Amino acid sequence: MQTRYTGKVPAYCQLLLGPRYALLREEFRKLRTQMKPRTGEVKRILLFFGGVDADNYTGLAIKALADMTIKGLDVDVVIGAQHPCRAEIETNCAALGFVCHVQTDKMAELMAAADLAIGAGGTAIWERSCLGLPTISLCVAENQHKQIIDAAEAGLLYAPSNDNNIIDLIHNHTNGLLENPALLKLISNAQMNAVDGKGVARIVHALAISGIEMRQATELDSQQLFEWRNHSTIRAVSRNNSPILWQDHQKWLGAVLADQDRELLIGISADQPVGVVRFDKDGDHAEISIYLVPECGFEGQGRKLLSSAERWLKANQPHIKSIRASVLNENIVSKNLFLGANYRKHTICYQKEL
């Protein structure tokens, strides 16, 4: 995935690719927080082949499900207002006891309520994945083919090969999945691991100003830096987790401020200190150390602080070409912070106590 634009965009172009950056509406992100992976039991099926569905895959799917005699199985059918077979679909749904939704604005809610979907490709793949809804996906347009195949190979959906008899295909594969709850559960877990609904926030964060300004630390910051660094939550994730003595802190701070190869920065938001970032430069590389001010309500601001520090470094030390971060193995928060900011694992250090 990361090589698809090689040679097609400038080398310095930041690539925001893949399901992590899926552009989904806010209602999907909100509902996601209430969802858990499906258990595999199917009580409700959702049919949706897009707003146009010119070849009336919806009608074919309705006929396929009409031949299935499963008690207690509810079916929601979604079509656009301009569907070419709207009247026929509404009539058939009424006769079968299916619920037909025309041009609904409750798509996220319908996906959240369903246990299995039958539909096409496109953006709906990422919407269903965000909510962990296993899907039988059919390719209804040539530009969906590679997307569906790639998503199926990643375990995000079930994609039987289209044949001439769509009704039999849907009927047979739906019956097969109803008898295979373990597969549905596996797909649901894979979906929710791949798409978390935060793609918009990630892109906005990559494009927008974080709201945090960085300034260089001075000797006037000594007392606060001393208190923050000695806080139990900061020491717990530091290489040296012992309390720092005042005289040692003063000596360390003086050395850092005097060293041209080190930058000690404080992030400020609304006149309040948010966190501390240190860069130790080595040629055209820099190693980063970062923490948020403890017990000040800035949880979740680590990404913004990191982004602001990176921008400061790029603007003020343009010769720096890469940043490295060393993270303790048990520091899951920092691991997720750097991985979420497109840092890659470079080396792994092993240590044994004797």
- Label the pairing between strands 74-79 and 44-48: parallel
pLDDT by residue for the chain (354 residues), tens digit each? 878 899 999 988 888 999 999 999 999 999 999 999 999 999 999 999 998 899 999 999 999 999 776 677 999 999 999 999 999 999 999 999 999 999 999 999 999 999 999 999 999 999 999 999 999 999 998 999 999 999 999 999 999 987 779 999 999 999 999 999 999 999 999 999 999 999 998 888 777 666 899 999 999 999 999 999 999 988 888 878 889 999 999 999 999 999 999 999 999 998 999 999 999 999 999 999 999 999 887 777 888 899 899 999 999 999 999 999 988 888 888 888 888 888 888 888 888 889
Do 283 and 192 share a structural domain? no
258 and 148 within one domain: no
Q: Assess whether 126 and 159 both reside in one domain.
A: yes
58 found inside a domain: yes
CATH number (domain holding residue 322): 3.40.630.30
243 and 171 fall within a common domain: no
Domain-terminating residue out of 162, 183, 202: 202
What is residue 100's three-state secondary structure?
A: strand
Containing domain of residue 328, as a range? 210-340
Could you tell me if 84 and 54 lie in one domain? yes
Sheet containing 285-292, strands listed edge to edge, beginning at the edge strand earlier in sequence = 213-216, 262-269, 272-282, 285-292, 322-325
Which amino acid, one-letter code, is at 301?
A: Q
Residue 301 and residue 248 share a domain = yes
Asked if 108 and 227 sit in the same domain, the reply is no
Note whether 317 and 281 are within 8 A (CB): yes
Q: Which CATH number goes with the domain that contains 122?
A: 3.40.50.2000
Contact 18/203 with Cβ under 8 angstroms? no
346: in domain: no
Q: What pTM was estimated for this model as a whole?
A: 0.70
Domain count, the chain: 2
11 to 5, 6, 19, 267, 304: CA distances (angstroms): 10, 8, 22, 30, 24
The answer to whether residue 240 sits within a structural domain is yes
Out of 183, 202, 221, pick the residue that ends a domain: 202
